[in-house]
Amino acid sequence: MHELTLYIGNKNYSSWSLRPWLALKVADIAFVEKLSRFDESTGHAHFIEFSPTKKVPTLLIHQENQKPVTIPESLAILETIADLYPDRHLWPQDAMQRAKARALASEMHAGFMGLRSECPMNMRRKIEAITVSNSVIKDVKRLEQIWSDCLEQSGGPFLFGDFSIADAMFAPVVNRLEIYALSDHIAVKVYSKAIKALPAWKEWQEAALKEPWIVQEDEV
Ligand SMILES: N[C@@H](CCC(=O)N[C@@H](CS)C(=O)NCC(=O)O)C(=O)O
């Protein structure tokens, strides 16, 4: 038996935190949520109290009579959850589809630097286009290609049919594409609608809108 504690950052801004939080909620896995606010004045120094990387998200796995196991890195957290709860099928069951989903989740984890640096997630930001670099335009084109290919092959509503870790990894991008008006592609519209209809997405967004804290560098 084990219990889970997930440390996350501000719901308005923390795109990496959203990923495992969303997967845990969609898979109906119980966990204790600990929100630790960003503090730009100290470089988020207090994150060291729970994470060796000083970053959110970080998962703690508590087992009886043992020291908690600490897992930083969103993708490692998602893999760990899939391992601990195999019956929730957080990866596609077919090996080839699973391989494809893993490749896409890794691509998201390691790439899309233009989009990630120029267009921060911001759940409360009003929709308003901004001028973006070619790197962002390239990232958006790649997302349009991934989402349209996956939805065409799976039939939706999620990238591999049922919600998977690939969706958890791409979910924050739904907000970025919307608030900076980056795409009119039909696959983006259809996929964004499916993600935003998740009760867990709505729960995260509602909480984000109630947060009073402003992180100036993420206000574009
Ligand atoms: N590769 C990490 C990235 C995590 C990350 O950069 N988190 C941000 C917040 S969304 C953070 O904790 N920043 C604080 C810092 O860099 O000191 C992951 O996948 O979890």
Q: Is 12 exposed, middle or buried (0-12, 13-18, 19+ CB in 10 A)?
A: buried
d(CA 12, CA 16): 11
73 and 127 share a domain? no
Angstrom distance (rounded) from CA 133 to CA 118: 8
Q: Which atom of ligand 1 is nearest to the CA of 16?
A: 10
For residue 85, give the nearest of 34, 33, 31 by alpha carbon.
Answer: 31
Residue 187 located in a structural domain: yes
101 and 197 assigned to the same domain: yes
* Atom 1 of ligand 1, nearest CA residue: 73
User: Which of 15, 16, 173 has most ligand 1 atoms within 8 Å of its beta carbon, as the pocket-test mutant?
Assistant: 16
Cis status of the peptide bond prior to 52, with omega within 30 of 0: no
Residue 69 pairs in a beta bridge with 61
For residue 32, pLDDT over 90 is answered with yes
CA-nearest residue, atom 16 of ligand 1: 55
* Residues 58 and 154 reside in one and the same domain: no
Do 36 and 62 lie in a common domain? yes
pTM of the full structure: 0.98
Rounded CA-CA distance 173/108 in Å is 10
How many separate domains does the chain show?
A: 2
Q: Above 90 in pLDDT, residue 19?
A: yes
C-beta 102 within 6 A of ligand 1:
no
Residues 65 and 126 in one domain: no
d(CA 116, ligand 1 centre) in Å: 12
pLDDT tens digits, one per residue of 138-164: 999 999 999 999 999 999 999 999 999
Q: Which domain holds residue 15?
A: 2-88+212-216
CATH number at residue 11: 3.40.30.10
Continuous H helices in 38-156: 74-84, 95-110, 113-118, 134-154
Mean pLDDT, residues 40-60 taken together? 95
184 CB-side CA count, 13 A: 1
Q: Is residue 207 part of a domain?
A: no
Q: Is 62 in the pocket of ligand 1 (CB under 6 A)?
A: no
**104 and 194, same structural domain?**
yes
Say if 41 falls within a structural domain: yes
What distance in angstroms lies between residue 70's CA and the mean position of ligand 1's atoms? Answer: 15
- Tell whether 79 and 138 lie within a shared domain: no
Burial status of residue 67 (CB atoms within 10 A of its CB: 0-12, 13-18, 19 or more): exposed
- Write the pLDDT tens digit of every residue in 162-176: 999 999 999 999 999
